Structure 1
C-alpha cells in the first residue's frame, strides 16, 4: 500500500519523504502544487526510486485527489500542504485562506469519500494526519507554562488563524463523520531545504553575501526550536501508534530568543566559514522595525508525545543548527536556485 504526502516538495514535507525512504520501502505519492516554496530539487535524490511517485497538483482538486487515493490504494494522508510564512500572510492573506482552510476542507472531503468506500479492515487502518503549528496557541508571557494539547487557541496572525481554522475542521470531521484523524502541532522547525525567507536560512544566505542579518524589534521574541528530522521521527510515531482523534505537540525543548539564535549561528559560521577580514558575522546583525502583531513567545509541552509514544529528541539546538549550517554551506547550488526569480522581489518588499 501507499501513503500520500501533500506539500511534499516543501521544507518539512520533503524532509519527511526523504526520511521515510531511509527506513521504509512503502510507496509514497508526493503531491505538491510547486508554488514559490515548493522545490523539486528537494526530492531529486529519489528520481530513480520506483517507490516514489511525484504528482504536481492542488490538495483542493476534487478530481485529482480522489483518483490518486483510489489508484494507489492509499492507507494514510500526511498533510503538510500550507502557506506558512507569517510575513506573507500579513502582506496578503488571501492565499492562506484558500490553501490552509479551503484546501484543507477539500482534502478532508476527498479523504472522507474514499474512506467511506473502503472495506472494514482497510477502513480501520486508514489515517488522516494533519500538520499544524504551535502558533495556533498564541503568544505566551514569560511566566506562562508551555502550551499543551488542551491549551486554548488564540491565533494572532492571518497565518496562525488559518491554521487554527484547519485544525478545527479536522477535529470536526472526526467528531461528526468519525474520519480517523491525527493532528500534530509543532514548534519552529529548522534544518535542510528550508526556504530562505525564514530566519535561519535567510541569515545564513545574507551572512555569506555580506548583507545585513535582519532581526525584528529588539530580537527578544522567544521561540521553541525543533530540528526537522526530530519532527519527522515524531510524525512517524504518531502515524503508527497515535490515538485516533488526538492532537500531539512536538517541541524541541529549545526556547531561545531570535537574537540568541542568530548569535549562535554567527559563531558557527565564524568557525566553519571565517571571513577574510577576520571579523565576526555578528557585525552584520541589524535590528529592523518590528512586524505588526509580533507574538512574544511560543513554547510547546511535548510530554504527552514522550510519555504515550516514548518519543525522544535526537538533537540539541546546537548540534541541529551546526548540521543545518553545514548543509547550506555544502549546497550553495540549491540555495542559488531557491532565491532566484520572485524571491528577490519579495525581499525588496520586505
Structure 2
C-alpha cells in the first residue's frame, strides 16, 4: 500500500477545513459516480477525511467501471468501513442513497471526436438513471457535473457568461457530442426538478485540474506542466487565442459539496476562478516561467488540418461566478499556485513509480 501523495493530502485538508460544509452529510449515504476521475476521487476522499475529522457517521459509495483500478487508486483507504465500491453498469444501478454526485462522463477531446456516439450515450443514459434513482430514493440532494463547454461559442467575442446566457454550438460537428449532451443533460436535470421534485443542482465547471490527476492524462494542463518539468519547450498547435476559465481542484470540490446541500433546485452555477481568465498562450508562458523557471520557450507549430486533433473552437469567453459566490464560496487558488501544486504532485508521483 502506497501512502497518499503529500500534495493531495494537503489539498484534502484544505477542502475539509470548513466543517460547516459537511454538516448536512452527518449520518448520510453519498453516491459518487465517476469516482476514479480526478473530481470524483477527490470528492470521495474529502468526504472520508471529513468523516474521520468530524465523526459524521456518513458512508460513501463509489461507482467505478473497474474495481481493480479503484482498489489501486484508493489503496490507502480501501479498507475503510465507510467506503464501498460498485461496478454495476450505471444504467442499471439501483442503490439506496441520500445524496448523489454524478460525475461519470468522457473527458478527453480526442475521444469525443473518435467516439461521439458513446460520448452521447454515456452522458444521457447515465444521467437519466441517476435522476430516476434520485426520484425513487427521494434523495436530499444531487449535483450534476456539467461543463463550461455547454455554452458553446459566445455570440459576442469576450462576452461575460452568466448562467442565463448561451452561445452557438454546431450540432453537426461530432466534437459537439460532448457539449450538446451536456446541454441536454442539464435540460434533463431541470425537467426532473420541475416535474418530479428531484433536488438536483448543476455545476458548470471551468477546466478543473490539480493534484490527484492521472499521470497518463494528456490534456493541455498536463502537457504544459510535464514539458516544463522536463525542460522541454511547450508546443502549441493553435494560436492559443482561446480564453481559458479554470478552477483548481480544491475550489471545485468545495463548490460541489456546497451545492449538494445548498443552492436552488434545478439551477446551474458557474464554478470558476473568474479573476484568472487567461488565453492558452498566456497560460503556456506562465507555466514556462514559473514551473520551467524561464529555461524553456513557448513554440507555435500549427498544422494545416486542426479538425483531426479534436480541439474545441477558439472561444473568447469569460465565465462569471457571482451566483456561486452567493453561497459563501470563493475561489482561493490562483493559476500560478495551481500549476506549482500540480508540478509538485507530478514530481512526487514520478519519484514513487
TM > 0.5: yes
CA distance in 2, matches of 1:320, 1:212: 20
Do 2:159 and 2:316's aligned partners in 1 also have CA atoms closer than 8 Å?
Answer: no
| 1:83 aligned residue (90, 100, 106) | 106
Q: 1:51 to 1:204 in 2, by over 3 A?
A: same
Please report how far the alpha carbon of residue 20 of structure 1 lies from its aligned counterpart in structure 2 after TM superposition: 2.3
Whole-angstrom distance in 1 between the partners of 2:252 and 2:113 = 26
**Contact 1:7–1:82 (8 Å) recurs in 2:** yes
Counterpart of 2:16 in structure 1 is: none
Deviation of residue 112 (structure 1)? 2.0
SS at match of 2:166: coil
Check the 8 A contact 1:128/1:180 in 2, yes or no: yes
Of 95, 98, 102, 2:118 maps to 95
Question: Does 2:224 align with 1:221?
Answer: no
Query: Is 1:2 matched with 2:23?
Result: no
**DSSP 3-state at the match of 1:249:** strand
Residues 277-292 of structure 1 aligned to structure 2 (within 5 Å): 280-282=295-297, 285-289=299-303, 290-291=306-307
Does the CA-based 8 Å contact 2:158-2:318 persist in structure 1?
no
Hey, what's the Cα distance between the residues in 2 that align with 1:82 and 1:206? 27
Shifted more, 238-247 versus 7-16: the winner is 238-247
Residues 204 and 269 of structure 2 are in contact (CA less than 8 Å); yes or no, is this contact kept in structure 1? yes
Instruction: Give the distance between the partners of 2:273 and 2:72, measured in 1 at CA.
Output: 27
Range moving further from structure 2, 137-146 or 162-171? 137-146
Tell me which residue corresponds to 2:181: 162
Q: Which moved more, 1:137-146 or 1:205-214?
A: 205-214
Mapped partners of 2:168, 2:102: distance in 1: 22
- d(CA) in 2 for partners of 1:153 and 1:21? 39
Q: Is the 1:132–1:186 Cα contact (8 Å) retained in structure 2?
A: yes
Are residues 1:179 and 2:198 paired? yes
Q: Give ranges in structure 2 of 5+ residues lacking alignment.
A: 1-27, 171-175
String of CA shifts for 1:277-305, please: whole Å, max 9, x gaps. xx82326x453333465232343111011
Give the secondary-structure state (helix, strand or coil) at the position aligned to 2:343.
helix
Alpha-carbon separation, structure 2, partners of 1:330 and 1:203: 17
- 1:46 matched to 2:77? The reply is yes
In structure 2, the residue corresponding to 1:44 is in which secondary structure?
coil
TM-fit CA distance, 1:22: 2.9
Partner of 1:342: none
Runs of at least 4 residues of structure 1 off by over 6 A?
none
Deviation at 1:240, TM superposition (A): 2.0
Tell me, yes or no, if structure 1 residue 28 matches structure 2 residue 60: yes
- Secondary structure of the residue aligned to 2:101 is strand
TM-score, normalising length: structure 1: 0.80
1:197-346 mapped onto 2 (5 Å cutoff): 197-208=218-229, 213-253=234-274, 254-271=276-293, 280-282=295-297, 285-289=299-303, 290-291=306-307, 294-307=313-326, 309-332=327-350
Deviation track 1:45-86 (CA, whole Å, cap 9, x = no partner) reads 3223221112223321x2xx21x22xxxx1101001011222
> RMSD of aligned C-alpha atoms?
2.4
Q: TM-score, normalised by structure 2?
A: 0.79
Cα distance per residue 1:71-126 (max 9 Å; x no partner): xxx110100101122222122212211111122112222332232xxxxxxx5xx1
Report the Cα distance in structure 2 between the residues aligned to 1:42 and 1:262, rounded to whole angstroms. 29
Q: Which one of the candidate residues 130, 136, 140 is aligned to 1:107?
A: 130
- 1:19, 1:229 within 8 Å by CA — same for their partners in 2? no
Q: Work out whether residues 153 and 167 of structure 2, in 8 Å CA contact, stay in contact via their aligned partners in 1.
A: no
Contact 2:144/2:203, CA 8 A, preserved across alignment: yes
Alignment of 1:57-76 (within 5 A): 57-60=88-91, 62=92, 65-66=93-94, 68-69=95-96, 74-76=97-99
Partners of 1:282 and 1:50 in 2: CA distance:
49
Contact residue 141 and residue 297 of structure 1 kept, 8 A: no
Matching of residue 128 in structure 1 with residue 128 in structure 2: no
Q: Which residue of 1 aligns with 2:40?
A: 13
* Partners of 2:342 and 2:233 in 1: CA distance: 20
**Cα distance in 2, alignment partners of residues 316 and 300 from structure 1:** 16
Please give the alpha-carbon distance, in whole angstroms, between the structure 2 residues aligned to 1:201 and 1:146: 27
